[in-house]
Amino acid sequence: MYKQNLNPLNKSFIALALVLFSAPSFALQGDVTKPVRIEADTIVFNKAKGFGKYSGNVVIVQGSLQIRASEIEIKAPNSSIELITAKGSPVRFQQTMDDGKVAKGQANLLRYAVKEKKLYLDGSAELSQNNDKFSSQHIEYSTRTGELKAGVAKVKGQNTKAKGRVSAIFYPTNK
């Protein structure tokens, strides 16, 4: 596993979490006050069971944040969000940061464990901000500590024979 605290990439993870659980972030400060717009081909929602599923060309927009997925599921027993799962080929997201830079990311499977404040990206996972780019088959990110881990991980229900290396490209800011 590869570990590193990457401040420019922290913003893109936190930006995604912004729309999913309405926490403050380093993304455009005004985004958190904007309405969340969700479009999908079908929606199944059951508040009593704490379950929501958006399927088919799902598009979520909140301010400058955009998320596109084939399917997004939210598990929220007792009206408390526990797990958010997005699937796609790939799931794509992007948001403008306060400094005007655009953070982008994608993966085939995205999971956010709310209580643990952990984001998991699996399958052709990529994150970028300007020219800086980070890619791996598996990326874990703690929104609590800022720690990032990447490599091949065994994920329940996923192909555990996946091979691949972590790739990172960074450009110096002190030229």
d(CA 15, CA 95): 7
d(CA 92, CA 45): 23
Residues of the domain holding 145: 36-154+163-169
Both tokens of residue 133? 């780019």
In a domain, residue 3? The reply is: no
In a domain, residue 22? The reply is: no
- For residue 174, the model assigns a pLDDT of 65
In a domain, residue 64? The reply is: yes
Number of domains composing the chain: 1
**Domain CATH code at residue 143:** 2.60.450.10
| Alpha helices in the chain, H assignment, sequence order | 7-21
According to the per-residue pLDDT averaged within each range, which of 58-62, 64-68, 98-102, 107-111 is highest?
Answer: 107-111
- For residue 41, the model assigns a pLDDT of 97
CB 37 within 8 A of CB 62: yes
In a domain, residue 77? The reply is: yes
- The pLDDT tens digits for 92-107 are 988 887 778 887 889 9
d(CA 111, CA 16): 11
Q: Is the pLDDT of residue 45 over 70?
A: yes
d(CA 157, CA 123): 12
Q: Is the pLDDT of residue 1 over 60?
A: no
DSSP 8-state symbol, 12: H
- For residue 108, the model assigns a pLDDT of 96
| Alpha helices in 22-116, H assignment, sequence order | none
In a domain, residue 81? The reply is: yes
In a domain, residue 76? The reply is: yes
In a domain, residue 8? The reply is: no
The arithmetic mean of pLDDT across residues 134-138, rounded, is 89
Q: Is the pLDDT of residue 6 over 70?
A: no
Q: How confident is the model at residue 20 (pLDDT cuts 50, 70, 90)?
A: very low
In a domain, residue 26? The reply is: no
